[in-house]
Amino acid sequence: MTYSKCRVCREPAIIDLPRHNANFCAEHLLQLCRRQVQKAISDHDMLSFDDKILVAVSGGKDSLAVWDILTELGYRADGLYVGLGIGDYSDISYDFTAAFAGERGLDLQTIDLRGEYGYDVPTAAKVTKRVPCSACGLSKRHLFDKAALDGGYDVVVTGHNLDDEAAVLFGNALRWDVEYLARQFPVLPARPGFPKKVKPLVRLTEREMAAWCIVRGIDYQVEECPMALGNKHLAYKEALNAIERESPGSKSAFYLNFVDKMAPILAGHSQAASGELNDCAVCGSPTTGETCAFCRLQDRVSGREPVPVELVLNKKARKAYLAAQSAAEE
Ligand code: AMP
Ligand code: FES
Ligand code: ZN
Ligand code: ZN
Protein backbone atom coordinates (compact mmCIF):
# COMPACT_ATOMS: atom_id res chain seq x y z
CA MET A 1 0.00 0.00 0.00
CA THR A 2 1.33 3.47 -0.73
CA TYR A 3 0.24 6.57 1.11
CA SER A 4 0.67 10.07 -0.20
CA LYS A 5 3.87 11.85 0.69
CA CYS A 6 6.43 11.65 3.47
CA ARG A 7 6.01 14.53 5.92
CA VAL A 8 9.76 15.13 5.96
CA CYS A 9 11.00 14.71 2.37
CA ARG A 10 7.80 14.63 0.27
CA GLU A 11 8.90 11.36 -1.38
CA PRO A 12 6.26 8.57 -1.57
CA ALA A 13 5.37 7.33 1.92
CA ILE A 14 5.27 3.67 3.05
CA ILE A 15 3.28 4.11 6.26
CA ASP A 16 0.62 6.40 7.70
CA LEU A 17 0.78 7.16 11.41
CA PRO A 18 -2.52 8.76 12.42
CA ARG A 19 -1.27 9.60 15.93
CA HIS A 20 1.36 11.84 14.31
CA ASN A 21 -1.17 12.94 11.71
CA ALA A 22 1.45 12.21 9.03
CA ASN A 23 2.92 9.73 6.54
CA PHE A 24 6.56 8.65 6.35
CA CYS A 25 8.95 7.14 3.81
CA ALA A 26 11.19 4.23 4.90
CA GLU A 27 14.15 6.44 5.77
CA HIS A 28 12.12 8.89 7.83
CA LEU A 29 10.21 6.14 9.58
CA LEU A 30 13.56 4.80 10.79
CA GLN A 31 14.56 8.30 11.84
CA LEU A 32 11.33 8.70 13.83
CA CYS A 33 11.89 5.35 15.60
CA ARG A 34 15.50 6.19 16.47
CA ARG A 35 14.49 9.60 17.81
CA GLN A 36 11.71 8.16 19.96
CA VAL A 37 14.14 5.65 21.45
CA GLN A 38 16.72 8.39 22.08
CA LYS A 39 14.06 10.53 23.74
CA ALA A 40 12.94 7.67 26.03
CA ILE A 41 16.57 6.96 26.93
CA SER A 42 17.39 10.59 27.74
CA ASP A 43 14.07 11.48 29.46
CA HIS A 44 14.46 8.58 31.87
CA ASP A 45 18.23 8.29 32.06
CA MET A 46 17.97 4.69 30.83
CA LEU A 47 21.38 3.93 29.35
CA SER A 48 24.85 5.36 28.88
CA PHE A 49 27.39 4.48 26.21
CA ASP A 50 29.68 2.96 28.87
CA ASP A 51 26.99 0.54 30.10
CA LYS A 52 27.31 -3.16 29.51
CA ILE A 53 23.77 -3.93 28.34
CA LEU A 54 21.86 -7.23 28.24
CA VAL A 55 18.87 -7.27 25.87
CA ALA A 56 16.27 -9.97 26.60
CA VAL A 57 15.33 -11.21 23.13
CA SER A 58 12.32 -13.40 22.41
CA GLY A 59 12.68 -13.59 18.61
CA GLY A 60 9.65 -11.31 18.19
CA LYS A 61 9.72 -7.96 16.40
CA ASP A 62 10.06 -5.73 19.45
CA SER A 63 13.06 -7.28 21.14
CA LEU A 64 14.94 -7.82 17.85
CA ALA A 65 14.18 -4.21 16.87
CA VAL A 66 15.36 -2.78 20.19
CA TRP A 67 18.58 -4.80 19.97
CA ASP A 68 19.06 -3.53 16.41
CA ILE A 69 18.34 0.11 17.30
CA LEU A 70 20.62 0.14 20.35
CA THR A 71 23.49 -1.46 18.41
CA GLU A 72 22.97 0.99 15.55
CA LEU A 73 23.03 3.93 17.99
CA GLY A 74 26.41 2.71 19.29
CA TYR A 75 25.47 0.98 22.57
CA ARG A 76 27.26 -2.21 23.69
CA ALA A 77 24.48 -4.75 23.90
CA ASP A 78 24.54 -8.55 24.15
CA GLY A 79 21.41 -10.71 23.84
CA LEU A 80 19.80 -13.24 26.16
CA TYR A 81 17.33 -15.83 24.92
CA VAL A 82 15.39 -18.05 27.34
CA GLY A 83 14.10 -21.34 25.89
CA LEU A 84 10.70 -21.73 27.57
CA GLY A 85 9.88 -25.10 25.98
CA ILE A 86 6.63 -23.95 24.36
CA GLY A 87 6.73 -26.49 21.51
CA ASP A 88 7.46 -25.30 17.96
CA TYR A 89 6.79 -21.72 19.01
CA SER A 90 9.94 -21.69 21.16
CA ASP A 91 12.05 -23.54 18.58
CA ILE A 92 11.13 -21.10 15.82
CA SER A 93 11.61 -18.08 18.11
CA TYR A 94 15.11 -19.30 18.91
CA ASP A 95 15.95 -19.75 15.22
CA PHE A 96 15.01 -16.13 14.44
CA THR A 97 17.03 -14.87 17.42
CA ALA A 98 20.12 -16.93 16.59
CA ALA A 99 19.95 -15.93 12.90
CA PHE A 100 19.73 -12.23 13.82
CA ALA A 101 22.70 -12.44 16.20
CA GLY A 102 24.73 -14.61 13.79
CA GLU A 103 24.23 -12.29 10.80
CA ARG A 104 25.35 -9.28 12.82
CA GLY A 105 28.14 -10.92 14.82
CA LEU A 106 26.40 -10.11 18.13
CA ASP A 107 26.86 -12.14 21.33
CA LEU A 108 23.84 -14.20 22.35
CA GLN A 109 23.52 -16.13 25.59
CA THR A 110 20.89 -18.82 25.83
CA ILE A 111 19.27 -20.48 28.82
CA ASP A 112 17.18 -23.60 28.33
CA LEU A 113 14.60 -23.99 31.11
CA ARG A 114 14.21 -27.76 30.72
CA GLY A 115 17.92 -28.44 30.15
CA GLU A 116 19.12 -26.29 33.05
CA TYR A 117 16.22 -26.23 35.50
CA GLY A 118 14.34 -29.45 34.67
CA TYR A 119 10.99 -27.97 33.60
CA ASP A 120 9.26 -26.00 30.84
CA VAL A 121 6.37 -23.51 30.81
CA PRO A 122 3.56 -25.90 29.70
CA THR A 123 4.54 -28.42 32.42
CA ALA A 124 4.74 -25.69 35.06
CA ALA A 125 1.31 -24.42 34.01
CA LYS A 126 -0.22 -27.90 34.23
CA VAL A 127 1.27 -28.69 37.65
CA THR A 128 0.53 -25.32 39.26
CA LYS A 129 -2.93 -25.05 37.62
CA ARG A 130 -2.26 -21.36 37.03
CA VAL A 131 -2.36 -19.47 33.73
CA PRO A 132 0.84 -20.27 31.77
CA CYS A 133 1.93 -16.62 31.68
CA SER A 134 2.32 -16.66 35.45
CA ALA A 135 5.04 -19.38 35.59
CA CYS A 136 6.49 -17.96 32.39
CA GLY A 137 6.78 -14.39 33.68
CA LEU A 138 8.17 -15.48 37.02
CA SER A 139 10.82 -17.69 35.35
CA LYS A 140 11.83 -15.01 32.85
CA ARG A 141 12.18 -12.28 35.47
CA HIS A 142 14.33 -14.49 37.68
CA LEU A 143 16.55 -15.65 34.82
CA PHE A 144 17.00 -12.14 33.35
CA ASP A 145 18.07 -10.84 36.79
CA LYS A 146 20.41 -13.75 37.42
CA ALA A 147 22.02 -13.61 33.97
CA ALA A 148 22.59 -9.87 34.30
CA LEU A 149 24.13 -10.07 37.77
CA ASP A 150 26.25 -13.15 36.97
CA GLY A 151 27.48 -11.62 33.71
CA GLY A 152 28.36 -8.22 35.24
CA TYR A 153 25.78 -6.31 33.15
CA ASP A 154 24.72 -2.81 34.22
CA VAL A 155 21.22 -2.98 32.84
CA VAL A 156 18.60 -5.32 31.32
CA VAL A 157 16.63 -4.07 28.30
CA THR A 158 13.29 -5.56 27.29
CA GLY A 159 11.25 -4.92 24.14
CA HIS A 160 8.01 -3.82 25.83
CA ASN A 161 6.37 -1.28 23.52
CA LEU A 162 3.68 1.38 23.93
CA ASP A 163 0.87 -1.10 23.17
CA ASP A 164 2.16 -3.53 25.82
CA GLU A 165 2.59 -0.87 28.48
CA ALA A 166 -0.72 0.86 27.76
CA ALA A 167 -2.53 -2.52 27.97
CA VAL A 168 -0.90 -3.39 31.31
CA LEU A 169 -1.69 0.10 32.61
CA PHE A 170 -5.30 -0.29 31.49
CA GLY A 171 -5.58 -3.59 33.40
CA ASN A 172 -3.96 -2.14 36.53
CA ALA A 173 -6.15 0.96 36.38
CA LEU A 174 -9.33 -1.12 35.96
CA ARG A 175 -8.51 -2.64 39.35
CA TRP A 176 -6.73 0.45 40.76
CA ASP A 177 -3.91 -1.85 41.69
CA VAL A 178 -1.64 0.71 43.35
CA GLU A 179 1.15 -1.78 44.03
CA TYR A 180 1.48 -2.58 40.31
CA LEU A 181 0.82 1.00 39.18
CA ALA A 182 3.67 2.19 41.39
CA ARG A 183 6.08 -0.14 39.61
CA GLN A 184 4.89 0.40 36.05
CA PHE A 185 7.54 2.83 34.88
CA PRO A 186 9.94 2.51 31.97
CA VAL A 187 12.92 2.32 34.33
CA LEU A 188 13.32 0.21 37.45
CA PRO A 189 16.49 1.27 39.24
CA ALA A 190 18.99 -1.34 40.44
CA ARG A 191 18.53 -2.58 44.02
CA PRO A 192 20.65 -5.04 45.95
CA GLY A 193 20.20 -8.36 44.13
CA PHE A 194 18.31 -6.79 41.20
CA PRO A 195 19.78 -5.18 38.07
CA LYS A 196 18.47 -1.93 36.58
CA LYS A 197 15.71 -2.66 34.00
CA VAL A 198 14.64 -0.41 31.17
CA LYS A 199 12.10 -0.34 28.32
CA PRO A 200 13.40 1.92 25.53
CA LEU A 201 10.45 1.21 23.18
CA VAL A 202 7.72 2.72 25.38
CA ARG A 203 7.22 5.61 22.95
CA LEU A 204 6.75 3.30 19.92
CA THR A 205 3.85 1.10 18.85
CA GLU A 206 3.70 -2.50 17.66
CA ARG A 207 2.94 -1.35 14.16
CA GLU A 208 5.96 0.96 14.11
CA MET A 209 8.19 -1.88 15.34
CA ALA A 210 6.87 -4.26 12.69
CA ALA A 211 7.61 -1.56 10.08
CA TRP A 212 11.13 -1.10 11.51
CA CYS A 213 11.80 -4.83 11.08
CA ILE A 214 10.41 -4.93 7.55
CA VAL A 215 12.43 -1.92 6.41
CA ARG A 216 15.60 -3.24 8.08
CA GLY A 217 15.11 -6.77 6.66
CA ILE A 218 14.78 -8.43 10.08
CA ASP A 219 12.93 -11.78 10.05
CA TYR A 220 11.00 -12.36 13.25
CA GLN A 221 8.52 -14.71 14.93
CA VAL A 222 5.15 -13.37 13.78
CA GLU A 223 3.00 -15.81 15.77
CA GLU A 224 1.73 -14.85 19.21
CA CYS A 225 2.68 -17.25 21.99
CA PRO A 226 0.04 -20.05 21.82
CA MET A 227 -0.29 -20.00 25.60
CA ALA A 228 -1.25 -16.33 25.60
CA LEU A 229 -4.16 -16.81 23.16
CA GLY A 230 -7.34 -15.39 24.59
CA ASN A 231 -5.72 -13.79 27.67
CA LYS A 232 -6.87 -10.51 29.17
CA HIS A 233 -3.80 -8.63 27.99
CA LEU A 234 -4.83 -9.17 24.35
CA ALA A 235 -8.39 -8.09 25.14
CA TYR A 236 -7.09 -4.85 26.73
CA LYS A 237 -4.96 -4.19 23.64
CA GLU A 238 -8.01 -4.60 21.41
CA ALA A 239 -10.05 -2.26 23.60
CA LEU A 240 -7.35 0.42 23.42
CA ASN A 241 -7.03 -0.05 19.66
CA ALA A 242 -10.77 0.58 19.30
CA ILE A 243 -10.39 3.85 21.26
CA GLU A 244 -7.29 4.78 19.25
CA ARG A 245 -9.16 4.34 15.96
CA GLU A 246 -11.83 6.81 17.11
CA SER A 247 -9.37 9.19 18.66
CA PRO A 248 -5.78 8.88 17.36
CA GLY A 249 -3.18 9.71 19.98
CA SER A 250 -5.26 8.55 22.98
CA LYS A 251 -3.15 5.48 23.61
CA SER A 252 0.13 7.35 23.86
CA ALA A 253 -1.48 10.13 25.91
CA PHE A 254 -2.92 7.54 28.31
CA TYR A 255 0.44 5.89 28.94
CA LEU A 256 2.95 8.72 28.50
CA ASN A 257 0.92 11.15 30.64
CA PHE A 258 0.66 8.46 33.31
CA VAL A 259 4.45 8.23 33.32
CA ASP A 260 4.92 12.02 33.44
CA LYS A 261 2.17 12.91 35.88
CA MET A 262 1.72 9.89 38.12
CA ALA A 263 5.35 8.89 38.68
CA PRO A 264 5.97 11.61 41.28
CA ILE A 265 2.64 10.91 43.01
CA LEU A 266 3.12 7.13 43.17
CA ALA A 267 6.80 7.22 44.13
CA GLY A 268 7.36 5.17 47.25
CA HIS A 269 4.00 3.39 47.08
CA SER A 270 5.45 0.03 46.05
CA GLN A 271 5.92 -2.21 49.06
CA ALA A 272 7.81 -4.77 46.98
CA ALA A 273 10.36 -2.11 46.07
CA SER A 274 10.82 -0.81 49.60
CA GLY A 275 10.25 -3.82 51.91
CA GLU A 276 12.94 -5.76 53.75
CA LEU A 277 14.35 -8.67 51.77
CA ASN A 278 16.22 -11.84 52.76
CA ASP A 279 18.50 -14.02 50.68
CA CYS A 280 16.75 -17.08 49.22
CA ALA A 281 17.99 -20.14 51.12
CA VAL A 282 18.47 -22.03 47.84
CA CYS A 283 19.75 -19.56 45.24
CA GLY A 284 20.57 -16.41 47.23
CA SER A 285 18.17 -14.11 45.31
CA PRO A 286 16.35 -11.45 47.30
CA THR A 287 12.96 -12.61 48.61
CA THR A 288 10.41 -11.68 51.23
CA GLY A 289 10.15 -15.31 52.43
CA GLU A 290 12.70 -18.03 53.06
CA THR A 291 12.96 -19.32 49.49
CA CYS A 292 12.21 -17.26 46.41
CA ALA A 293 9.20 -17.87 44.14
CA PHE A 294 11.43 -19.24 41.37
CA CYS A 295 13.03 -21.87 43.62
CA ARG A 296 9.62 -22.83 45.03
CA LEU A 297 8.29 -23.25 41.48
CA GLN A 298 11.32 -25.25 40.41
CA ASP A 299 11.02 -27.48 43.47
CA ARG A 300 7.40 -28.21 42.59
CA VAL A 301 7.73 -28.86 38.88
CA SER A 302 11.31 -29.89 38.09
CA GLY A 303 11.78 -33.41 36.73
CA ARG A 304 8.11 -33.87 35.74
CA GLU A 305 7.34 -35.53 32.41
CA PRO A 306 6.97 -32.78 29.75
CA VAL A 307 3.34 -31.80 29.09
CA PRO A 308 2.53 -30.95 25.43
CA VAL A 309 1.42 -27.37 24.76
CA GLU A 310 -2.10 -28.29 23.60
CA LEU A 311 -2.92 -29.94 26.92
CA VAL A 312 -2.71 -26.69 28.85
CA LEU A 313 -4.72 -24.53 26.45
CA ASN A 314 -8.37 -23.72 26.95
CA LYS A 315 -10.81 -25.04 24.35
CA LYS A 316 -10.75 -21.98 22.09
CA ALA A 317 -6.96 -21.60 22.22
CA ARG A 318 -6.44 -25.33 21.57
CA LYS A 319 -8.61 -25.19 18.46
CA ALA A 320 -6.66 -22.20 17.09
CA TYR A 321 -3.35 -23.84 18.00
CA LEU A 322 -4.13 -27.18 16.32
CA ALA A 323 -5.45 -25.42 13.19
CA ALA A 324 -2.22 -23.38 12.95
CA GLN A 325 -0.15 -26.54 13.40
CA SER A 326 -1.89 -28.44 10.63
CA ALA A 327 -1.70 -25.40 8.31
CA ALA A 328 2.06 -25.26 8.97
CA GLU A 329 2.45 -28.97 8.15
CA GLU A 330 0.66 -28.71 4.79
P1 AMP B 1 6.33 -10.71 26.61
O2 AMP B 1 6.34 -10.91 28.08
O3 AMP B 1 6.31 -12.00 25.83
O4 AMP B 1 5.41 -9.67 26.11
O5 AMP B 1 7.78 -10.13 26.27
C6 AMP B 1 8.20 -8.90 26.77
C7 AMP B 1 9.70 -8.79 26.61
O8 AMP B 1 10.34 -9.80 27.38
C9 AMP B 1 10.19 -9.03 25.19
O10 AMP B 1 10.13 -7.85 24.42
C11 AMP B 1 11.60 -9.48 25.43
O12 AMP B 1 12.44 -8.38 25.71
C13 AMP B 1 11.47 -10.30 26.70
N14 AMP B 1 11.27 -11.74 26.42
C15 AMP B 1 10.09 -12.38 26.22
N16 AMP B 1 10.28 -13.70 26.01
C17 AMP B 1 11.62 -13.91 26.08
C18 AMP B 1 12.47 -15.07 25.96
N19 AMP B 1 11.95 -16.27 25.72
N20 AMP B 1 13.79 -14.90 26.11
C21 AMP B 1 14.31 -13.67 26.36
N22 AMP B 1 13.57 -12.56 26.47
C23 AMP B 1 12.25 -12.67 26.35
FE1 FES C 1 5.21 -16.79 28.32
FE2 FES C 1 3.78 -17.39 26.32
S3 FES C 1 5.69 -16.44 26.29
S4 FES C 1 3.34 -17.87 28.34
ZN1 ZN D 1 10.96 10.87 3.87
ZN1 ZN E 1 15.78 -18.91 44.99
235-248 per-position pLDDT tens digit: 999 999 999 999 99
Residue 33 is predicted with a pLDDT of 98
pLDDT band, residue 328 (cuts 50/70/90): confident
Q: Is 145 in the pocket of ligand 1 (CB under 6 A)?
A: no
Domain boundaries, the chain: 15-218+229-329
Q: What atom in ligand 1 is closest to the CA of residue 133?
A: 2
Task: Say if residues 166 and 253 touch (Cβ distance below 8 Å).
Answer: no
- For 189-211, the pLDDT digits (tens) are 999 999 999 999 999 999 999 99
Per the prediction, the chain carries an average pLDDT of 94
- For 274-314, the pLDDT digits (tens) are 678 899 999 999 999 999 999 999 999 999 999 999 888 87
Residue 122 is predicted with a pLDDT of 95
Q: What atom in ligand 1 is closest to the CA of residue 80?
A: 21
CATH 3.40.50.620 assigned to domain 15-218+229-329? The reply is yes
Close Cβ partners of 269 (under 8 Å, ≥ 6 residues apart): 178, 179, 181, 182
- For 90-148, the pLDDT digits (tens) are 999 999 999 999 999 999 999 999 999 999 999 999 999 888 889 999 999 999 999 99
Residue nearest to atom 6 of ligand 1 (CA): 160
Q: Is 136 in the pocket of ligand 2 (CB under 6 A)?
A: yes
